[in-house]
Structure 1
Amino acid sequence: MELAHKYKIAIIGLGYVGLPLAKLFVEKGNTVYGIDTDIRKIQMLQKRQSYLSDYKRNDIRELFSGKKFHVSHSFEVIEKADVIILCVPTPLDEQMQPDLKFVINATRCILPHLKRGQLIALESSTFPGTSEEILKPLLEREYRTGGRDGSSASLFAGTDRSRVALGAVANSEGRRRGESGKHFVRKRSLWYRI
């Protein structure tokens, strides 16, 4: 199904989740602004080189071929976006819980550039409640005080299904253990409409 409307999408984090997501949206005719704070990744992409084992140089060239994919380390391009998707790393800490410092930092970095009507989604793998307990308060605090453009926010929430390894079995805490013995965490997203 092809969407009639094409969107401008900012993807924060161009790793194993963000770059394939960018490719998918570009293939559907949307304009994508890829943002990553890793300057090396941005420089490699600008040279049409890959840093992911799943992507060859030709894949990267093809991504840029339609002039619908733009990369930067600057968050200012968020002002152009209709949709903002956070795809930042959530490595496990010593207690085997997702470390949210990248999610929190990315959220703080987008705040000065948000405008009314944008949609924000968290795609980083994390524990249930991250969006409600971490992101929502940060966004509400910013927009309760008027936000960058002086408007107040309307926050709408939604949840998506987990993306975890096949054959994983869930326990009562929502964690999953795959064959490798590593924990996988149920992924739950909130979408915010500013």
Structure 2
Amino acid sequence: MSIERPAHGLMLQSKVESGAACIAVIGMGYVGLPLAVAFAESGSRVLAVDLDVAKVDALNAGRSYIRHIDGARIAPLVDQGLIDATADMARFDEADVLLICVPTPITRHLEPDLGYVVATTEMIAKTLRRGQCVILESTTYPGTTREVMQPILEAGGLAAGRDFFLAYSPEREDPGNPDFSTTRIPKVVGADDPTSLDIALALYRRIVPQAIAVSSAATAEAVKITENVFRSVNIALVNELKLVFGAMGIDVWEVIDAAKTKPFGFMPFYPGPGLGGHCIPIDPFYLTWKAREYNQHTRFIELAGQINSSMPERVVQALAEALDAHSGKGLRGARVLVLGVAYKKNVDDIRESPALRLMELLEARGASADFHDPHVDRIDNTREHPTLNFRAGIPWDLEAIAGYDVVLIATDHDAVDYCALVEASPLVIDTRNACARAGAPLDRVVRA
């Protein structure tokens, strides 16, 4: 038996397919901004919403504040009226579709903090009208869309799937990756009614090569969690192998490079000083928290988290031992230069970066820790690392670098001359195998 679709749902779907729908993207960060640009470039009118007035002003002036998003793409879209940035949440009623791209951090007790999602949903509920569609993109635990957002949106008397439409589509951004920009990554889409699903699929098909439907919003939420748990667990595995093989005198990077020549059954992951970014260090804990509601225990996932979170301490200990062996000098009073504070190469995002934890640990043991990062001029205000707030990086100056007792490579940006770095430095601790990949001499390099 066919299910009768609400007339305003069919009208919205037609509007979306034609490109006539106005799309509000809420949260102009590393997920929201490229999404807004992609929809605007497809010809849709985009309301770019953020409470940060500095971001709003930059966008309305045609400027980008994210290094890998070229301002030359934004300016013509603003001039054509396709991007209209605002901090005014009362304008939500102008939009036909509202995409939520706000942070979903964890608390100090490793529990989900949905404060941004809840606050945004409550603001949408104030102006929610028939025929609008709300889609959450923020990473979260399975059940958030139905259990948290839907009751807030329905409190005014409108019903999801009948009066308004609700879906979930996880963001899949990989900032700084030139091979996979927003419009080149397939989108997973889930909803709890067929009309909401069809509207969301029609929307994303305007900008991505493939939109994959799943049976529910919770399933789509589980897809995102699974993707990030997969990476977290495999990175923990190679971090542990690094320690085991290191004790045996075996180079883990050589092992991985050889293993990946197998054309099946192996996927290369690489060790590092810890995990960073807004996904992998956080998302697995959303699942472990939700699993407890069902009396399920995620021992494997939690163990991976413990291994990854312990890596900064391991790196600092390896640095201390190498410094003592090289110069007989302990960490107290040592001058350390941390190379790279972004959480991954070739981006300017420092969220959850292990480099920040490394700097704190070094200074707790009496060293001084400066940093150089070609993409980060200073450490912005962070809740988690208050002692580092507003610290400015040092410029690239080989004479100045030579004055440090040791250089710790935390992020392997491509814009660094590693051969020159090794030549200038008395000792280099390399957590990313950057020096070997650059062909630098390794006599003063310790891989950790």
Q: TM-score, normalised by structure 1?
A: 0.77
Taking a change above 3 Å as real, the CA distance of residues 156 and 40 of structure 1, as seen in their structure-2 partners, is closer
**% of aligned pairs identical?**
31
2:281 is aligned with 1:183: yes
2:95 is aligned with 1:85: no
Question: 2-side partners of 1:44 and 1:165: how far apart?
Answer: 35
Count of residue pairs brought into register by the alignment: 175
> Is this contact kept in 2: 1:177–1:184, CA < 8 A?
no
Structure 1 counterpart of 2:153, which letter? L
SS class of match (2:135):
strand
Equivalent position to 2:119, from 105, 127, 132: 105
Q: Which has the higher strand share?
A: 1
Structure 1 counterpart of 2:111, which letter? Q
5 Å matches for 1:61-76? 61-76=75-90
Match of 1:137 in 2: 151
Taking a change above 3 Å as real, the CA distance of residues 96 and 178 of structure 1, as seen in their structure-2 partners, is farther
Taking a change above 3 Å as real, the CA distance of residues 169 and 86 of structure 1, as seen in their structure-2 partners, is same
Taking a change above 3 Å as real, the CA distance of residues 166 and 140 of structure 1, as seen in their structure-2 partners, is closer
| CA deviations over 1:141-176 (Å, ceiling 9, x no partner) | 1226x9xxxxx8455551336447978528xxxxx5
2:147 is aligned with 1:49: no
> Is this contact kept in 1: 2:19–2:43, CA < 8 A?
no
Question: 1-side partners of 2:228 and 2:49: how far apart?
Answer: 33
Q: Offset of 1:121 from its aligned partner?
A: 0.6
SS class of match (1:88):
coil
Question: 1-side partners of 2:64 and 2:43: how far apart?
Answer: 22
Q: Offset of 1:97 from its aligned partner?
A: 3.4
Match of 2:131 in 1: 117
Question: 2-side partners of 1:97 and 1:185: how far apart?
Answer: 10
Q: Offset of 1:92 from its aligned partner?
A: 2.2
Question: 2-side partners of 1:22 and 1:104: how far apart?
Answer: 21
Structure 1 counterpart of 2:144, which letter? T
- Unaligned 5+ segments in structure 1 are 147-151, 171-175, 188-194
Equivalent position to 1:169, from 226, 230, 243: 230
> Is this contact kept in 2: 1:178–1:184, CA < 8 A?
no
Question: 1-side partners of 2:164 and 2:47: how far apart?
Answer: 24
Taking a change above 3 Å as real, the CA distance of residues 54 and 143 of structure 1, as seen in their structure-2 partners, is farther
| CA deviations over 1:113-147 (Å, ceiling 9, x no partner) | 11110000111111111111210111121226x9x
Q: Which has the higher helix share?
A: 2
- Unaligned 5+ segments in structure 2 are 1-15, 168-190, 192-216, 236-273, 287-448
SS class of match (1:34):
strand
